[in-house]
């Protein structure tokens, strides 16, 4: 064999064998699972399963603030080795569409997709003391009483804020948008009766609905939720413009070796194949996904474009 050809073959073998070996030995130390604005039940469920599978702790690290931006910044600046992962969400694609270059990171440039975990439908809920029993009644009463109903959300650039704006525009009503420091604070304000309305992801609001501390008026999605089969979709109620969703996924720092990203994705897919995990997910009205990194990357790209279209539709300014 020609010496140069032999060297090239050896280099090719080394280039493919080393990343494979790194992925097989990964992880050799604990993994930080950074969580921003989302509820932490899903990452804790996933983290527990991954800890058992990896033989290393996957530690959920809550970093709330700025609609999840603080958490995303941490991961975007971390070492690209797979030991710092992000619970990403639809809020990140919304922020990318709204703020663009004004963000300190770029979702598609500085973070690498691992997998989609689940798509999150939204519930439109009110405090039980609010008289209307249906969305149509709420809209009619809000038109009769402009400015007297308020809609709680987790602050500008969050999907719950966007939900309030969609309700205002597509419902043709004058409601007061009330920001809170977090989605949990906004939710509790509606439970306490300080606020009247909220649009919240199913995962966050379902337990309060079941406890009759919140009254659901509508859900988003192509079909009714199996958890709330008696509650109509917004499309059924003639408000398809109110039909939006969020999602949760996993991202890592850009530049993380593809072999390690592949290992993370395959192990997450393994957790979702577990019957116990599937049952826990169903109890939260979550459908597990665990798609491939390339598929998730395409999903995020289209989601950014979807938010950009909807932002223009309701008249919000998109940052240059």
First to last CA, the chain: 57
- 74 vs 22: CA distance, rounded Å: 24
The answer to whether residue 174 is domain-embedded is yes
Does 115 lie in the same domain as 126? no
151 by DSSP, 3-state: which? strand
| Segments forming the whole domain that contains residue 185 | 122-242
Place of tokens 């994705």: 265
48 by DSSP, 3-state: which? helix
Q: Which of 211, 242, 273 is the last residue of a domain?
A: 242
Does 154 lie in the same domain as 111? no
Q: What is the pLDDT of residues 208-245, one digit of tens each?
A: 999 999 999 999 988 898 889 999 999 999 999 898 88
Is it the case that residue 109 has pLDDT exceeding 50?
yes
The answer to whether residue 320 is domain-embedded is no
In the chain, the number of structural domains is 2
- The pLDDT-based confidence of 21 (bands split at 50, 70, 90) is low
- The pLDDT-based confidence of 9 (bands split at 50, 70, 90) is very low
User: For residue 115, what is the domain's CATH number?
Assistant: 3.40.190.150
Is it the case that residue 33 has pLDDT exceeding 50?
yes
For the entire predicted model, the pTM comes to 0.81
Exposed e or buried b per residue across 157-180, where buried means at least 16 C-beta atoms within 10 angstroms of its C-beta = bbbbbbbbbbbbbbbebebbebeb
Asked whether the beta carbons of 165 and 317 are under 8 A apart, the reply is no
The answer to whether residue 211 is domain-embedded is yes
Q: Tell me the two tokens of residue 190.
A: 């509606």
The answer to whether residue 57 is domain-embedded is yes
Is it the case that residue 8 has pLDDT exceeding 80?
no
User: For residue 217, what is the domain's CATH number?
Assistant: 3.40.190.10
Q: What is the average pLDDT score of the chain?
A: 89
Nearest alpha-carbon partner for 158 in 254, 227, 244: 244
Does residue 27 have a cis peptide bond before it, meaning omega lies within 30 degrees of 0?
yes
Nearest alpha-carbon partner for 90 in 191, 15, 17, 163: 163
Q: Tell me the two tokens of residue 25.
A: 């030995």
Identify the pLDDT of residue 319: 45
Over range 87-92, report the average pLDDT: 92
- 279 vs 275: CA distance, rounded Å: 6
Does 134 lie in the same domain as 44? no
Does 144 lie in the same domain as 90? no
Q: Which residues in 41-186 belong to E strands, given as ranges?
A: 58-62, 84-89, 111-120, 122-126, 150-153, 176-179
């Amino acid at each position: 064999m020609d010496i140069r050809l032999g060297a090239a073959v050896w280099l090719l073998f080394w280039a493919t064998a080393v990343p494979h070996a790194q992925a097989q030995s990964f992880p050799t130390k604990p993994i930080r699972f950074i969580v921003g604005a989302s509820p932490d039940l899903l990452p804790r469920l996933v983290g527990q399963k991954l800890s058992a599978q990896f033989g290393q702790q996957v530690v959920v690290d809550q970093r709330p603030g700025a609609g999840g931006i603080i958490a995303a910044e941490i991961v975007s600046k971390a070492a690209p080795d797979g030991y710092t992962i992000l619970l990403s969400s639809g809020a990140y694609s919304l922020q990318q569409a709204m703020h663009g270059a004004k963000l300190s990171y770029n979702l598609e440039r500085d973070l690498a997709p691992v997998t989609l975990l689940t798509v999150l439908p939204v519930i439109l809920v009110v405090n039980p003391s609010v008289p209307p029993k249906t969305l149509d009644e709420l809209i009619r009463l809000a038109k009769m009483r402009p400015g007297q109903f308020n809609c709680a959300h987790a602050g500008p650039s969050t999907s719950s804020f966007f939900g309030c704006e969609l309700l205002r525009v597509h419902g043709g009503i004058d409601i007061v948008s009330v920001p809170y420091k977090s989605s949990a604070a906004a939710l509790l304000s509606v439970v306490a009766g300080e606020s009247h309305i909220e649009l919240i992801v199913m995962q966050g609001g379902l337990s309060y609905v079941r406890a009759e501390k919140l009254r659901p008026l509508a859900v988003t999605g192509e079909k009714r939720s199996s958890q709330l089969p008696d509650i109509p979709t917004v499309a059924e109620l003639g408000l398809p413009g109110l039909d939006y969703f969020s999602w949760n996924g996993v991202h890592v720092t850009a530049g993380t070796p593809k072999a390690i990203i592949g290992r993370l994705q395959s192990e997450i897919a393994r957790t979702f194949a577990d019957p116990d995990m599937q049952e826990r997910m169903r109890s939260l009205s979550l459908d597990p996904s665990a798609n491939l990194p390339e598929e998730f990357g395409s999903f995020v790209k289209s989601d950014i474009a979807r938010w950009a279209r909807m932002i223009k539709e309701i008249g919000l300014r998109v940052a240059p």
